[in-house]
């Protein structure tokens, strides 16, 4: 069968043995996410026709206004994973605490926990800008047969066994990795099937796009300011093009295809950064590295950071390898100049 005619289901079956722990659960988790993504995609595409846009009038644990689609997507992904009895715990950006999942026989024998941002960039939904879902899968570290604990979720990103995102845009794509490269699947809405459309996705080593909210320039650390000035200089292959959607999934997806760097640094307004380490930075870092790119907090590899809190924030630099290296050089130089 030609690669591009392959469905996501067929791809999962063919690559089952490539999973680190080949027992079927990980395949079923990806299949569950596929199903939930199709349900959410249906609602996203109806967002202008039904009462599903706008805020619900409440805030999540992050202190952010919850959108109606945030709540809907969160419920869909959680219930789909729970109903299939394939995970022992779930943590969501939208929930204060993690969820312990029991089997139908009240057992705790499942091996995996899932962490997710059910609808990244949802504030953009009202203006018809692409949004996404981000997920991360870890093998539990507490003994099988016991309820999960916070330790199962506070693992460094290098322990991830799978990660991915769904982008609900002009076409809906599911992009994921299990540590053996990155593959993208596009939904054919006519028959409800995801087909392999982007096999072995790779970041170009260099790019000419930088993605950062320059409106916050005055609040950025000096190293980031210096790197932005470097991007804007008229020399060699520069100035680079500035492209910032404000939806993490969309910005990184574009940069992976075209070549570029995404930056969400610390600032005087967000001294620890704004993106969540567990729900956004770690899964995206796993994907970026598997696609030949680089991901860091500006100085250190993101996936080696030991999380201390469920909703911990971190600065995030990721994208084409050489571009991230250059940004890190500016961060180190600015740090040295302080002393």
Q: Which of 285, 291, 256, 282 has its CA nearest to residue 181? A: 291
In whole angstroms, what is the distance from residue 221 CA to residue 317 CA?
Answer: 13
CA-to-CA separations, 310 to 18, 47, 213, 247, 336, in angstroms, rounded: 29, 30, 26, 22, 32
- Sign for the pseudo-dihedral over CA of 210, 211, 215, 217: negative
Residues near 204 by beta carbon (within 8 Å), at least 6 away in sequence: 258, 259, 320
> Cβ(142)–Cβ(151) under 8 Å?
yes
Residues making up the annotated binding site for substrate are 120-123, 213, 244, 262-264, 274
3-class secondary-structure state, position 192: coil
In whole angstroms, what is the distance from residue 23 CA to residue 211 CA?
Answer: 40
Q: Which of 150, 146, 119 has its CA nearest to residue 133? A: 119
CA 240 to chain centre: 25
The CA-to-CA distance between both ends of the chain, in Å, stands at: 61
Residues making up the annotated binding site are 93, 117, 119-123, 213, 244, 262-264, 274, 280
CA atoms within 13 A on the CB side of 319: 33
* The two three-digit tokens of residue 107, written as one number: 């057992």
CA-to-CA separations, 242 to 19, 152, 247, 281, 296, in angstroms, rounded: 38, 39, 15, 21, 20
- Parallel, antiparallel, or unpaired for β 55-59 and 65-67? antiparallel
Residues making up the annotated binding site for Mg(2+) are 93, 117, 119-120, 280
């Amino acid at each position: 069968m030609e690669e591009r005619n392959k469905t996501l289901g067929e791809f999962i079956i063919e690559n089952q043995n490539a999973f680190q722990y080949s027992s079927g659960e990980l395949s079923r988790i990806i299949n569950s996410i596929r199903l939930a993504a199709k349900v959410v995609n249906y609602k996203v595409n109806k967002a202008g026709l039904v009462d599903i846009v706008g805020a619900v009038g409440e805030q999540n644990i992050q202190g952010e206004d919850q959108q109606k689609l945030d709540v809907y997507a969160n419920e869909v992904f959680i219930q789909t994973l729970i109903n299939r009895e394939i995970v022992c715990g779930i943590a969501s950006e939208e929930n204060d605490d993690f969820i312990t999942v029991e089997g139908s026989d009240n057992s705790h024998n499942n091996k995996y926990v899932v962490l997710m941002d059910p609808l990244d960039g949802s504030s953009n939904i009202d203006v018809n800008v692409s949004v996404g879902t981000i997920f991360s899968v870890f093998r539990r570290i507490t003994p099988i047969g016991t309820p999960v604990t916070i330790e199962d979720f506070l693992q460094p990103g290098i322990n991830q066994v799978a990660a991915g995102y769904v982008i609900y845009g002009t076409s809906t794509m599911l992009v994921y990795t299990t540590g053996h490269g990155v593959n993208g699947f596009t939904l054919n809405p006519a028959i409800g099937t995801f087909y392999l459309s982007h096999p072995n996705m790779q970041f170009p080593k260099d790019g000419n796009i930088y993605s950062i909210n320059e409106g916050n320039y005055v609040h950025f650390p000096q190293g980031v300011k210096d790197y932005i000035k470097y991007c804007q200089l008229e020399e060699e292959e520069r100035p680079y093009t500035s492209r910032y959607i404000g939806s993490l999934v969309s910005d990184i997806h574009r940069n992976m295809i075209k070549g570029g760097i995404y930056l969400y640094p610390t600032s005087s307004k967000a001294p620890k950064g704004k993106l969540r380490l567990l729900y956004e930075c770690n899964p995206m870092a796993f994907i970026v590295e598997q696609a030949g790119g680089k991901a860091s907090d500006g100085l250190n590899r993101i996936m080696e950071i030991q999380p201390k809190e469920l909703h911990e924030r971190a600065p995030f630099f990721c994208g084409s390898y050489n571009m991230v290296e250059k940004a890190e050089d500016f961060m180190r130089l600015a740090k040295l100049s302080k002393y």
